[in-house]
Amino acid sequence: MGTFRSNLNALFAPDIDQDIVLERFAKLTQKNWWLISEFIKLLDRGLGPIAESGAPRLVTQPVLEFLEKQWMQRIQ
């Protein structure tokens, strides 16, 4: 998850199983690199701005729900 942390300045909240989330992301994007790129852009927006302190943003359940809702609306 170092890449996730360094590229998005984000971490998964302690109550989130990152393996399940990443598996779900892979299914939603069909492992298509262009779709993955678009999905990451949505995730970045859903996480909100990076704090001036540089503290990592957290991928929480509400962020994941927002992301999936936005993604499903986009592909319909």
Sketch the domain layout of the chain as residue ranges: 2-75
Quick check: pTM over 0.85? Answer: no
| Dihedral (Cα; 63, 75, 73, 16), 10-degree rounding | -20
Q: What averages of pLDDT result for each successive group of 10 residues across the chain (76 residues)?
A: 76 93 89 88 90 90 91 80
Nearest to 60 by CA among 9, 8, 5, 11: 11
